[in-house]
Amino acid sequence: MTFVFRNQTVEPFLGYDGVTYSGYDDISVVPEDVDRYIWFYQVPVNADSVQLAQEIDSYCDKLDIVLAAANKHKPFIIFSLVNLFPLRLSGDETALDEAIGAFNRHAQQLSRQHTQVKWVDFSEFTLRYDADALINWKYYLMSQTLLNPKLVHKFQEWWQRIERELSLNRKKCLVLDLDNTLWGGVLGEDGIDGIQLGGEYPGRAFSYWQRSLLELSRNGLILAICSKNNEADVLEAWEKNPAMVLKREHFSAIRINWRDKATNMRELADELNIGLDSMVFVDDSPSERELVKQLLPEVEVPDFPLKPYELMPFFKSLVEKYFRIYTITNEDRSKAEQYRANAQRNAEQARFVDLESYLYSLDIQLDIKPADEHNLPRIAQMTQKTNQFNLTTRRYAEADVQQRLDAGWRIYCVSASDRFGDNGITGTIFLEPLDDTTVNIDTLLLSCRILGKGIEEAFVKTVFNLLRLDGYRKITADYIPTAKNGQTADFYDRMGMTSVGTGDDGTRHYEMALNDVFEIKNYYNIRVL
């Protein structure tokens, strides 16, 4: 059940099924037994802007009171305040704008301080419409529904998208073309200094676009290149064109050649160790887009703007549709760097004759930690995003993870680092005690960027040893096949577990007695924290 705090009628917008509403501006009841909370206040209609500003000021305190009383383990979504009926009587009435700004800053602050709090920018919806279309005075005066009921369907469309984004459905990688996409013109024809980048329009538009993309990569998005060009020309342009914002080092992987783009996309996915369904392909050529759409339906292929001046709204739509998340974890921020370090690691790997001496040289450090309030968002995020090394592919929101912890489950996560860099938290295991001596592995997953180093095995064996020390004597587990997780099909066999049957849906059941201590290769430095 969703519980909504509101000061106007919002039922037509947020619906009736499974939703309970507070009284109008009534914070006296804060139920604990809910699935999530929504705070959806609107700026009331009041010609006295000073009085109105005071009322808005009080919302900050009310929000604090509600948040303090709310169940900390359930999502709390705060809509930003938007003045739907700005009255300017004297022209210098700043008090109201300040109060609205202060509330929105406060709400954003709360979303940074508390993992369960998410801030939703309501203006993103309202800015699409003219002021006249936002309010229908007839319905407002009949029912206190300030937002025009005619916008119900548009609102629900928008809100569904936001809800999807709230559940961490984000793409990981943006693959870009070069000519007429990252700059204007064709490098092979116009030359390094002839392409349109920087200076006056249209070059200026491409500069803004590149700077925006750079910012996105700083927030954890992986950038890659897929372009038909001579690689040497491009490398030279990256080095020598002074207006270039995005250069070689900003791209985690590149395919600059004359082969078909579908093949290149598949290779990029392999090299970056991500699924094609995590990629967005941006190219100015309709035929290239069509090819990728046809051959790789998992890849998102948005239309590219026809005019350079449309690049900024295009950038905004990319962010809104594919790349925004509501809790940016530190893991996200440094992820693009990690992918680049991995590319370096792969080069290193080629120089060692055998894998073991390579692994030894890496100086791998594994930290295994029980779930806590700091790593819980990341753990939930991993269950949402990990597809390949994921034995059961069960998706959990933060609240679901908390609920399982409360029910006595043991949940561990593993952080991995080596001499090339810190990969952060990259794996998790959910253990459900079935009785005093038996435990079931509900979820086991590792981010694919750390695979190939035996970390999954070291992690699982360490956890098994911990369980044995705690008196557990039997482990059960399932492998649920999906389109993506074929590489883990025999993982439990390799761990020495016994297959005890296969379900109708292909799920394989395993069990194993915990008698002996598992030996773990000595090239991992393992700490249990």
Partner 1 sequence: MSLEEKVLEIMRETFGVKDVTTEASQKNCEQWDSLRHLALASELEEAFDLELEPEEIAEMTDFSRVVAMLKSKI
**Which CB, 136 or 285, lies closer to partner 1?**
136
- Beta-strand pair 222-227/253-256: parallel
Specify the stretch interacting with partner 1 by CB under 8 A; choose among 145-153, 197-205, 377-385, 389-397: 145-153
Which one of 112, 138, 333, 394 is in contact with partner 1 (CB under 8 A)? 138
**Which CB, 138 or 333, lies closer to partner 1?**
138
Cite the beta strand spans of 252-362 per DSSP E: 253-256, 279-282
19 binds partner 1 (CB under 8 A): no
**Which CB, 14 or 27, lies closer to partner 1?**
14
Number of residues that bind partner 1 (CB under 8 A): 15
Burial 102-120 (b: 16+ CB within 10 A, else e): bbbebbeebbeeebbbbbb
State the nearest-atom distance from the C-beta of 131 to partner 1, in Å: 19
25 binds partner 1 (CB under 8 A): no
Which one of 149, 185, 203, 454 is in contact with partner 1 (CB under 8 A)? 149
- Beta-strand pair 2-6/498-502: unpaired
Residues 39-58 that bind partner 1 (CB under 8 A): none
State the nearest-atom distance from the C-beta of 4 to partner 1, in Å: 13
State the nearest-atom distance from the C-beta of 136 to partner 1, in Å: 8
105 binds partner 1 (CB under 8 A): no
Tell me the three state secondary structure of residue 339: helix
State the nearest-atom distance from the C-beta of 141 to partner 1, in Å: 8
State the nearest-atom distance from the C-beta of 147 to partner 1, in Å: 12
Tell me the three state secondary structure of residue 168: coil
State the nearest-atom distance from the C-beta of 213 to partner 1, in Å: 40
State phi, psi for 513 to the nearest 5 degrees. -85, 140
| CA dist., res. 143 & res. 10, Å (int) | 10
Burial 123-158 (b: 16+ CB within 10 A, else e): eebbeeeeeeebbbeebbeeebbbbbbebeeebeeb
| CA dist., res. 232 & res. 184, Å (int) | 19
Which one of 143, 160, 437, 498 is in contact with partner 1 (CB under 8 A)? 143
State the nearest-atom distance from the C-beta of 14 to partner 1, in Å: 12
How are the residues of the chain apportioned to helix, strand and coil, as percentages rounded to the nearest 5?
45, 20, 35
**Which CB, 152 or 466, lies closer to partner 1?**
152
Which one of 139, 314, 360, 518 is in contact with partner 1 (CB under 8 A)? 139
Specify the stretch interacting with partner 1 by CB under 8 A; choose among 133-141, 205-213, 361-369, 384-392: 133-141
14 binds partner 1 (CB under 8 A): no
Specify the stretch interacting with partner 1 by CB under 8 A; choose among 148-156, 174-182, 232-240, 463-471: 148-156
Q: Which residue has the tokens 């038909």?
A: 228
Burial 474-495 (b: 16+ CB within 10 A, else e): bbbbbbbbeebbeebeebbeeb
**CA geometry: angle 402, 275, 509, nearest 5 deg:** 55
State the nearest-atom distance from the C-beta of 160 to partner 1, in Å: 16
**Which CB, 136 or 257, lies closer to partner 1?**
136
Of the candidates 360, 361, 405, 358, the one whose C-alpha atom is nearest the C-alpha of residue 379 is 405
187: which residues sit within 8 A by CB, 6+ positions away?
178, 179, 195, 229, 233, 234, 237
**Which CB, 23 or 188, lies closer to partner 1?**
23
132 binds partner 1 (CB under 8 A): no
Of the candidates 396, 393, 414, 392, the one whose C-alpha atom is nearest the C-alpha of residue 404 is 396
**Which CB, 149 or 305, lies closer to partner 1?**
149
What secondary structure does DSSP assign to 18-71, as a single string?
A: TEEEEEET--S---SS-SEEEEE--PPP-S-HHHHHHHHHHHHHHHHHHHHHS-
**Which CB, 9 or 417, lies closer to partner 1?**
9
11 binds partner 1 (CB under 8 A): yes
Which one of 12, 202, 203, 302 is in contact with partner 1 (CB under 8 A)? 12
150 binds partner 1 (CB under 8 A): yes
**Which CB, 153 or 307, lies closer to partner 1?**
153
- Length of the chain equals 529
State the nearest-atom distance from the C-beta of 137 to partner 1, in Å: 11
Q: Are 4 and 10 in contact (CB under 8 A)?
A: yes
Which one of 30, 95, 152, 325 is in contact with partner 1 (CB under 8 A)? 152
Of the candidates 225, 221, 304, 322, the one whose C-alpha atom is nearest the C-alpha of residue 264 is 225
17 binds partner 1 (CB under 8 A): yes
Specify the stretch interacting with partner 1 by CB under 8 A; choose among 139-147, 324-332, 441-449, 494-502: 139-147
Tell me the three state secondary structure of residue 455: helix
Quick count: other Cβ atoms within 10 Å of Cβ 302? 15
Element (H, E) at 295: helix 286-295
Which one of 2, 145, 181, 210 is in contact with partner 1 (CB under 8 A)? 145
142 binds partner 1 (CB under 8 A): yes
Q: What residues line the site for partner 1 (CB under 8 A)?
A: 9, 11-12, 16-17, 136, 138-139, 141-143, 145, 149-150, 152
